[in-house]
Amino acid sequence: MPTDNKFNIVVLPGDGIGVEVMQACLAALEALQQRVGGFRLAYDHRPGGAQLYADTGVAFPEPSMTACEQADAILFGAMGLPHIRYPDGTEIAPQLDIRTHLELYAGVRPIRALAGVPLALADPRAREIDLVIIREQTEGWFYSRGKADVRGDVEAFDTCRITRKGSERVFDFSFRLAQRRKARNPAKGKVTCVDKANVFASMAFSNRIFRERAERFPDIAADHCYIDAMALNLLRKPWEYDVVPTENQFGDILSDLGAGLIGGMGMAPSGDLGDKHALFQPSHGSAPDIAGQGKANPTAMLLSAAMMLEWLGERHDLRACTDAADVLQGAVDGVFARSSVRPWEFGGTDGTKEITAAVIDAIRHVNR
């Protein structure tokens, strides 16, 4: 627990551009603490990732996990490198171990169009995109990770596991989030469950639970969509959606699709939330093809830090943190709205250093 409004933040830079965007994030957070005041962040840097596995045979040391257990929040860059894998052929992904160990069951993936950012859809309504994908992160198809039944060169089995507990808590989380969003914007207030209940009994089971939980939130509209139809609808009419809970694997896929709608993975933040712990990270990976070149877009990391501050403020009833979250998000929004920067992925020449500097300047000059 924090003392004197000082929070212990475990910092996990990881691999590739994770290190670069984390440095940018910490610089912005320092400027933010000086500008807003009323809280302090103390950082505990810990190792983990694919390169660490290649060097030591351990991807995420036990002391790193213990530090995560004791932290007020976790900031995560990116872990994993395509050419470094476990003996079973899967990539190094300590973030999945953290999610399971700390029961970070709600993967919160905001998909929000920013003014000044090129969008994938030409329809002017694309500027209204503002939805949140909620990815269940402790079961589903990912349950079989490390437990697959591989029978030589003949066949392999992965199992989808869905429980009542897992379903109830992620659906309740989604409905409560929809209530908060509706309070800020009366046009919101809808939860759309996405699954494949017409094929898999596990998802038909979860769908029944969704309808049960929906009855507890009569002020929130509840509807349903199959995963294949949702993939189409996110291209046809993403502005019609609000909160979208879905199974682990489906959420993984839809999150990337959603990021593509708003400018790419460099613009997509995320938070992995549980009842006691929380981790915040950009939705992108380690991007080894651009690592060390200064081209990485830190926006997703910066917006993830804003999510962290909002979570800390709400959890500890500390207005300074929620104010800081608003300032950071406003600074990022303003930089793009004014076309102050143009990242490499949009055909520009502004990378990590330039975007970070612009955001820090905006933080220092924001009117409060």
Predicted pLDDT at 234: 98
Chain segment 309-358, per-residue pLDDT in tens? 999 999 999 999 999 999 999 999 999 999 999 999 999 999 999 999 99
Structure tokens, 53: 């596995």
Predicted pLDDT at 1: 55
Predicted pLDDT at 147: 82
Q: How far apart are CA 177 and CA 197, in angstroms?
A: 24
Structure tokens, 343: 């990242």
Structure tokens, 182: 């509706």
pLDDT more than 90, % of the chain:
93
Average pLDDT value for residue range 171-176: 98
Predicted pLDDT at 148: 79
Predicted pLDDT at 368: 61
Structure tokens, 173: 């989380």
Chain segment 50-80, per-residue pLDDT in tens? 999 999 999 999 999 999 999 999 999 999 9
Chain segment 70-120, per-residue pLDDT in tens? 999 999 999 999 999 999 899 999 999 999 999 999 999 999 999 999 999
pLDDT more than 70, % of the chain:
99
Chain segment 247-270, per-residue pLDDT in tens? 999 999 999 999 999 999 999 999
pLDDT category at 144 given cuts 50, 70, 90 is confident
Q: Could you say which architecture CATH assigns to the domain 120-261?
A: 3-Layer(aba) Sandwich (3.40)
Q: How far apart are CA 6 and CA 55, in angstroms?
A: 34
Chain segment 272-302, per-residue pLDDT in tens? 999 999 999 999 999 999 999 999 999 999 9
Give CA torsion, residues 305, 309, 311, 315, to 10 deg. Answer: 150
pLDDT category at 131 given cuts 50, 70, 90 is very high
- H helices within 71-163, ranges in order? 94-101
In degrees and rounded to multiples of 5, residue 151 shows phi and psi of: -105, 80
Structure tokens, 204: 């038909």
Q: Could you say which architecture CATH assigns to the domain 1-104+264-368?
A: 3-Layer(aba) Sandwich (3.40)
Chain segment 178-210, per-residue pLDDT in tens? 999 999 999 999 999 999 999 999 999 999 999
Q: How far is CA 133 from CA 54, 103, 196, 361, in A?
A: 33, 18, 16, 31
CATH 3.40.718.10 domain extents, the chain = 1-104+264-368, 120-261
Contact by Cβ (8 Å): 100, 126:
no
